[in-house]
Structure 1
């Protein structure tokens, strides 16, 4: 929400506060969205002091409503950011456990490869010795 307001302020676009109030504020507010109550003083003409007071009141009500909007949206945004952070932390925890599991599996696989290589060397030596023994056997027979 704050980004939208910043965009409106930066671009100097007209902001339809009445429509925004209707969609985001509660209907049970004291004053209806975008309107002021008419009083007897509103009907008087030429009362400069009252005009300043009326303008100040309208501005104060606008600021209060805007603060309420910003508070609601910032708290919603903070909750979304907390959930997102919480999700990222859970994912990182899952990733850590998966990484640890993969490391242990890798170590087991490397150990198995070493034992198989050793077995292969032993088997090659055995085959060599058998060949030598056979060749000696054939030499003795002749």
Structure 2
């Protein structure tokens, strides 16, 4: 992630993942019915911690990227041109429509790219056929 950011001229903070093997009381509160694997719960806890960092921070925008991303060369320019929304909103970049519900009309256009608001839930796995 640091190499990718350096190549793009982006300085970002790498947030360590929650270890699925380490026990914790937060795991029970995140999955009280025990329906997810320890890895899925750890992934959620990592995401929740990252969202909290953004919500508690002073920056008007926050972006979260997974460690297996492939970035367009103009990502920095794209992020710099994003307007700060009036209310909290989540956008998914390059989201699969099979597992993510997004609005039909874009909220924001930046150059040739468009952002569609995240609608509803996001499935952990694609629906079975």
Regarding TM over 0.5, the answer is: no
Q: Which structure has more RCO (C-alpha within 8 Å, separation ≥ 6)?
A: 1
TM-score by length of structure 2 reads 0.23
Instruction: Tell me which structure has the larger Cα radius of gyration.
Output: 1
Give the structure with the larger strand fraction: 2
TM-score by length of structure 1 reads 0.21
Give the structure with the larger helix fraction: 1
